[in-house]
Amino acid sequence: MSQKKAVIIGAGIAGIATAIRLAVKGYKVEVFEANGYPGGKLSEIEQDGYRFDAGPSLFTMPQYVDELFKLAGKNPADYFSYQKLDVVCKYFYEDGTRISAFADTRQFAGEIENKTGEPAASVIKHLANSADIYSITNHVFLERSLHRLQTYLRIDTLRSILRFPKIDPFRTMHKANKTGFKDKRVVQLFDRYATYNGSNPYQAPATLNVIPHLEQHFGAYFPDGGMYSITQKLVKLAEELGVKFYYNSRVDEIVVINGKTKGIRSNDQNIMADMVISNMDVWFTYTRLLSKYPQLHPKKILNQERSSSALIFYWGIKKQFASLDLHNIFFSADYEAEFDHIWERQDIFHDPTVYVNISSKLKPDDAPPGCENWFVMINVPANNGQDWDKLIAGARGRIADKLSSVLGEDITSLIVNESVLDPRSIESRTSSYKGSIYGTSSNNQFAAFLRHANQSSKVKGLYFCGGSVHPGGGIPLCLLSAKIVSGLIN
Ligand code: FAD
């Protein structure tokens, strides 16, 4: 039998992982990528002697990356190494409180008790609840297709359905956290996990309280070569397995004949294939690549609320700060108002929560000696045509003022170079609709069931992977989408 051919649209992390899985299965795989480089959001930028990871900075569930090397019969350590963080994040509050989120759960709970008076036992209880939600949802909702009958006929699915109330889908995350903790700083710390998939803790179901378990139990890591090395090492593996990557090759159309995909159209050429896997945002997959077939568009799914986006300043800083770590959060004094601005008013709050990631803390060659590379990010609404230039100019000054006041240094005078990523450039660089960074939001309890499936129900041979489809955004879930897709292909 001749070798079957799969074409993948996009070399984001999910596209690369799908390519590896299908190559291991014996398929001939070709990946068409619009940019001149792989990785999509998981890419890097160089700036006058400073290197920055452009998008993701928090690395969790490294076992999903290792699994790809093992699947190919390789030793992951020969390709890719990473270290576990002892301190996952440093939190700075406007009232002067500083909390170190230690990886060790007892130490973390003790730190919270020492700094806020919230009993360590409440933190331990919260994390135990988080572990319970994980045990109910993991195999059923994250690792399998929710759109196949077989999933629901499995005994572990039935067991999970019986334990459904335990996942707390009918309260908001904030409400659950407010009930579990007395101290509002601790509520804020745990509410923040909703932002890990671009959602709003005041609307999202308390099921999202599963997220701390991923970070606290499985740990947070830093790849020795920086986040971009995840992309680089997986592309290397894929190429060794015979996968062909075509860069600067935007796909313009998915060719469908008689309800079956026949391949794609890119650079005015037809490329035939037995199956097509789109790693492009599902909204654009339909509206751009399948624009000839409006009858195929799943309108309800496409019209769901999008996740939030981000505004990032990449600042070369000519100084080092001993008080800062790899991950640092400077909280807003009014979290509810901040989310109200992002979700209801669709603008930027005057006192946003600021995330500062400094990879040169662990990878010193990311900045010149004595300097640091600051990735400074705030959550912002998806792009709905706001006056971003005006919003960005205002936010820049206020972010610098906030950091200056907490750190006791004039930050603006320490910035030696700068570039900016905003919802518009996220959209144009990665074809992510409205610049949303995690596809659709998880602001309601049905979101997990409403994400687009990994396989088309109308076009034979058409599959979907990546952050805009099941099971959702973020590197670990994107890697799981690749696993689900390859499981659907025989
Ligand atoms: P994408 O990265 O969206 O890539 C899609 C690729 O497809 C792109 O390369 C694009 O050019 C290509 N493409 C699109 N259309 C076409 C076409 N027509 N033809 C050819 N190619 C096409 N996740 C975490 O786990 N931890 C974090 O800390 C984290 N922080 C983040 C911070 C930021 C600022 C951003 C932007 C994202 C962050 N994420 C984080 C989310 C994470 O980056 C994404 O969920 C994940 O990388 C998305 O991968 P993907 O496979 O869906 O593809």
Cα 40 to middle of ligand 1, angstroms: 5
* Residue 449 or residue 109, greater confidence: 109
Enter the tokens of residue 327. 């991950």
Residue 254 in contact with ligand 1 by CB distance below 6 A: no
Ligand 1, residue 438: give the atom nearest the CA.
45
Specify the ligand 1 atom closest to the Cα of 250: 19
Which of 430, 434, 469 has most ligand 1 atoms within 8 Å of its beta carbon, as the pocket-test mutant? 430
Segment 222-253, tens digit of pLDDT: 999 999 999 999 999 999 999 999 999 999 99
Does 168 score more than 70 pLDDT? yes
Q: Specify the pLDDT at position 442.
A: 86
- Residue ranges of the chain assigned to CATH 3.50.50.60: 5-43+62-73+224-304+443-488
pLDDT classification of 158: cutoffs 50, 70, 90? low
Nearest to 126 by CA among 164, 183, 53: 183
For residue 152, the model assigns a pLDDT of 62
Does residue 453 line the site of ligand 1, with CB under 6 A?
Answer: no
**In angstroms, what is the span from residue 436 Cα to ligand 1's centroid?**
10
Q: How confident is the model at residue 352 (pLDDT cuts 50, 70, 90)?
A: very high
Count of CA atoms in the C-beta half-sphere (13 A) of 278: 37
State how far the alpha carbon of 242 is from the alpha carbons of 25, 245, 274, 426, 474, in Å. Answer: 12, 10, 17, 30, 27
pLDDT (tens digit per residue) in 46-78: 999 999 999 999 999 999 999 999 999 999 999
Helices (H) and strands (E) in the chain, counts: 17, 20
Helical packing angle, 475-488 and 63-71, nearest 10°: 40
Please report the DSSP string for 282-311 in residue order: HHHIIIIITTT-GGG--HHHHTSPBPPEEE
This prediction has a pTM of 0.96
* CB distance 41 to ligand 1 below 6 Å: yes
* Range 286-297 average pLDDT: 96
pLDDT number for residue 444: 83
- Would the pLDDT of 209 be above 90? yes
The answer, yes or no, to whether residue 149 has pLDDT greater than 70, is: no
Q: How many CB atoms lie within 10 A of CB 429?
A: 17
- For 109-133, write each residue's pLDDT tens digit: 999 999 999 999 999 999 999 999 9
- CATH number at 5-43+62-73+224-304+443-488: 3.50.50.60
Nearest residue (CA) to ligand 1, atom 7: 10
pLDDT for 146 beyond 70: no
Atom of ligand 1 nearest to the CA of 54: 34
> Vertex 279, ends 277 and 283: CA angle to 5°?
105
Q: Using CA atoms, how far apart are residues 347 and 77, in angstroms rounded to an integer?
A: 44
Average pLDDT, whole number, for the chain?
95
- Residue 331, pLDDT > 80, answer yes
Atom of ligand 1 nearest to the CA of 32: 20
Contacts of residue 123, Cβ cutoff 8 Å, sequence gap at least 6: 105, 108, 109, 112, 113, 186
